[in-house]
Amino acid sequence: MNSEQIFKMALGLEAPWEVKSLSFEINKTGSKDLHIYIGYVKDFAQFRDEKGKSLIYDHNERTWRHLNFFQYNC
């Protein structure tokens, strides 16, 4: 099991969502930050609306502060 799979399970992500990459940084101030980049499988027809299934075709990049993982900012 790799790191992406562990964080996918920890965050409760299901298809079409997936962990694209992870990075760990130690800042000049000494704080330790974990960055998790989440993406999705293109052309995944999972979302339902009043017309039936819908494809993911557009997105907006967002950043948010998650609760800490262990003692690291996430």
Where are the chain's structural domains? 3-55
pLDDT tens per residue, the chain (74 residues)? 888 888 899 889 888 788 999 988 888 888 888 888 888 776 665 666 677 766 666 667 777 777 787 777 77
Residue 67 CB contacts under 8 Å (≥ 6 apart), including other chains: 74
- pLDDT for res 72: 76
Tell me, what's the pLDDT at 46? 60
Dist. CA 17–CA 48, nearest whole Å? 15
- List the one residue out of 40, 34, 35, 37 whose CA is nearest residue 17: 40
